[in-house]
Amino acid sequence: MEKLTNNEYKTDVSGITLRFVREGEEGTVLHFIRAIAAYEKMSDCVIATEEGLHRAIFEQHACNVLLIEQEGVPVGFCLYFHTFSTFCGRTNLYLEDIFLNEEVRGRGIGREVFRVLMEIALEEGCERLEWVCLNWNAPSIAFYRRMGAFPLSDWTTWRMTAKDMRRSLSGGDS
């Protein structure tokens, strides 16, 4: 992997580069969000919009998006953001999503994406790189183990949706 600029990385996989998304490319990001949702059998959960993505990425700076390109054509993306660990006393990188089009999988691109993320995390002084994976996603789990990652077995991810929060705040089902 070679860092070409602060915004672009050339990988060791021929013709594959990663670069940060630019304003006006929110539709491409939304395309990949819908693609990963379909892969995870969760298409009905996507409520993201181009406008919301623009606000989150470029106005609020709530997340970072890398487009994965083959000869300049987007073939995947990854979206990450920072979390904070009170135990470490520093920020960490949290990978929300990584997705590659099926036709480019198995070529080492995922490993290159993780190498870039690890470089970014270390450059920014992060102690950890974390993510979640669906339990049925055996190919991804095997890949993560090969990368040297390990699952946290003592933790369960908990969630409240906006609907759940509104219901709880109104006194229902508490």
Task: Catalogue the active-site residues.
Answer: 144
Pull the structure tokens for residue 165. Answer: 């929060």
Do β-strands 64-70 and 16-20 pair in parallel, antiparallel, or remain unpaired?
Answer: antiparallel
Q: How far is CA 24 from CA 5, 10, 44, 47, 48, in A?
A: 20, 22, 25, 19, 16
Amino acid letter for position 130: E
b/e per residue 27-47 (b: at least 16 CB within 10 A): ebbbebbebbbeeeeeeeeee
